[in-house]
A and B are shown apart, each in its own frame.
Chain A
Amino acid sequence: EVQLVESGGGLVRPGRSLRLSCAASGFKFDDYGMHWVRQPPGKGLEWVSGISWNSGSIGHAESVKGRFTISRDNAKKFLYLQMNSLRAEDTALYYCVKDDAGSLRGLLDVWGQGTTVTVSS
């Protein structure tokens, strides 16, 4: 069974850092691009970051550019999101999502259940 399990969320003060992790199983991880998508409380979905199968292509939304970094460890089958200089508006449920292609085609075919990040003083 294809599975994505996020971890690392929690309560953090504005300006601090947090690293999210996503453990992948049930598919050949290093064949597929991966993404992070978030959903603020009571709001819609927002694409955050994406990374191709070999980390050769990486993209971030303008709202997080320069603060967030996506990375992956294909040997361990993990996806990461390093979040620095966190702001209240980064408060959201963060989903780890599999792309249906190795490149960043952008079709999001498998999602995790998410991990919650709350930025508050």
Chain B
Amino acid sequence: DIQLTQSPSFLSASVGDRVTFTCRASQGIASYLAWYQLKPGKAPKLLIYAASTLQSGVPSRFSGSGSGTQFTLTISSLQPEDFATYYCQQFNLYPLTFGGGTKVEIK
């Protein structure tokens, strides 16, 4: 199985901050990577797919980059509604696998 390692696992930041977190794959997955946002009690939301393509309706402050084994998700200016947990997921090979998540909390 392809292992995905996210870092950091926890991030404390303020509204307006620029934040970046990473996802590293145990083997090359080209650009078959997606990012999701999870909030308690809500349906998870697809933010970015194919490593850097913004899903329709997602604010432009979110951006993704990378290919192969190293990927990043950046929020250019953190908003109150962005405090959540973010997961990367590879869809290059089955079984589909997810990273361990990065929880973004208010400083």
Compute how far the CA of A25 lies from the CA of B43 in the bound complex, rounded to whole angstroms: 15
A95-B44, A107-B49, A109-B46 in contact; A44/B34 too (CB < 8 A)?
no
The answer to whether A46 touches B94 (Cβ under 8 A) is no
The answer to whether B41 touches A47 (Cβ under 8 A) is no
The answer to whether A47 touches B44 (Cβ under 8 A) is no
The answer to whether B95 touches A44 (Cβ under 8 A) is no
Report how many A-B pairs have Cβ atoms within 8 Å. 58
The contact string, 1 if C-beta is below 8 Å from chain B, for chain A 71-111, is 00000000000000000000000010000100011111111
The answer to whether B98 touches A44 (Cβ under 8 A) is yes
The answer to whether A61 touches B87 (Cβ under 8 A) is no
Tell me, yes or no, whether B68 is within 8 Å of chain A by CB: no
The answer to whether A105 touches B91 (Cβ under 8 A) is yes
A44-B87, A108-B89, A109-B55 in contact; A62/B42 too (CB < 8 A)?
no
The answer to whether A111 touches B94 (Cβ under 8 A) is no
CB within 8 Å of A: which of B51-89? 55, 87, 89
A111 proximity list for chain B (CB < 8 A): 36, 43-46
> Which residue of chain B lies nearest to A98 when distances are taken between CB atoms in the complex?
B46
> Which residue of chain A lies nearest to B55 when distances are taken between CB atoms in the complex?
A109
A62 proximity list for chain B (CB < 8 A): 95
The answer to whether A108 touches B43 (Cβ under 8 A) is no
The answer to whether A108 touches B34 (Cβ under 8 A) is yes
CB within 8 Å of A: which of B1-30? none
Tell me, yes or no, whether A11 is within 8 Å of chain B by CB: no
> Which residue of chain B lies nearest to A49 when distances are taken between CB atoms in the complex?
B95
Residue positions of B touching A, CB distance < 8 A: 32, 34, 36, 38, 41-46, 49, 55, 87, 89, 91, 94-101
Please name the 9 residue pairs, one residue from A and one from B, whose CB atoms are nearest each other, closest first.
A106-B91, A47-B96, A45-B98, A111-B44, A111-B43, A113-B43, A106-B96, A44-B100, A109-B46
